[in-house]
Amino acid sequence: MIQSRTNTCGELRLSDAGRQVTLSGYYENMRKVSKNLGFLVLRDFYGVTQIVIETEEMMDKLSGINTESTLQITGTVRERSSKNPDLPTGEIEVVPSEITVLGKCRFNELPFEINRSREADENARLRYRYLDLRNPEVKENIVLRSRIVSELRRSMTEQGFLEITTPILTCSSPEGARDYLVPSRLHAGKFYALPQAPQQFKQILMASGFDRYFQIAPCFRDEDARADRSPGEFYQLDMEMAFATQEDVFAVIEEVLPPVFARFGKYKKASKAPFKRIAYLDALDTYGTDKPDLRIDLTLTEATDLMKGCGFAPFDEADVIKAVTVHGFEGSRKVIDKIVSDAEIVSGGKSFWVKCSDDGAGLAGGVAKFLTDRQDKIRDALSLKAGDVVFISAGTKGQALKTGGVLIKTIGAASPAHMDKEAYEFCWIVDFPMYEIGEESGEIEFCHNPFSMPQGGLEALRSDDPLKILAYQYDLVCNGVELSSGAVRNHDPEIMIEACKIVGLGEDDVRSKFPAMYNAFCYGAPPHAGIAPGVDRMIMLIAGEDSIREIIPFPMNKNAEDLMMGAPAAVAKGQLDDVHIAITEEPDRE
The answer on pLDDT for 8 being more than 50 is: yes
Quote the crossing angle between the two packed helices 136-158 and 246-264, to the nearest 10°.
140
User: Per-residue DSSP letters for 572-587?
Assistant: -HHHHHHTT----PPP
Residue 546: left (phi > 0), alpha (psi -120 to 50), or beta?
alpha
SS3 for 34-83 is ECCEEEEEEEECCEEEEEEECCHHHHHHCCCCCCCCEEEEEEEEEECCCC
Query: What is the per-residue pLDDT for 263?
Result: 93
CATH number of 137-260+534-574: 3.30.930.10
CATH number of 14-103: 2.40.50.140
The answer on pLDDT for 1 being more than 50 is: no
Query: What is the per-residue pLDDT for 3?
Result: 66
Query: What is the per-residue pLDDT for 175?
Result: 60
Query: What is the per-residue pLDDT for 269?
Result: 87
Query: What is the per-residue pLDDT for 440?
Result: 81
Mean pLDDT of the chain: 93
Residues 6 or more apart from 352 whose CB is under 8 A from it?
A: 314, 340, 366, 367, 391, 392, 393, 394
- Residues 254 and 247: their CA atoms lie apart, in Å, by 10
3-state secondary structure of 170: strand
Q: Which residues pair with 426 in a beta bridge?
A: 478
Do the domains 14-103 and 296-419 sit in the same CATH topology, yes or no? no
- Residues 452 and 446: their CA atoms lie apart, in Å, by 10
Which comes out higher in pLDDT, residue 589 or 392?
Answer: 392
Q: Are 412 and 327 in contact (CB under 8 A)?
A: no
Please name the CATH architecture into which domain 296-419 falls: 2-Layer Sandwich (3.30)
The answer on pLDDT for 332 being more than 90 is: no
Bond before 568 cis per omega within 30 degrees: yes
- pLDDT tens column, 438-491: 878 888 999 877 889 999 999 999 999 999 999 999 999 999 999 999 999 999
Q: Are 431 and 470 in contact (CB under 8 A)?
A: yes
- Residues 346 and 255: their CA atoms lie apart, in Å, by 35
Query: What is the per-residue pLDDT for 512?
Result: 85
- pLDDT tens column, 274-319: 999 999 999 999 999 999 999 999 999 999 999 999 999 999 999 9
Tell me the average pLDDT across 111-137: 97
- Residues 144 and 542: their CA atoms lie apart, in Å, by 9
- pLDDT tens column, 148-177: 999 999 999 999 999 999 999 999 876 668
**Domain ranges for the chain:** 14-103, 137-260+534-574, 296-419, 427-529
Q: Which of 26, 27, 28 lies closest to 45, judged by CA?
A: 26
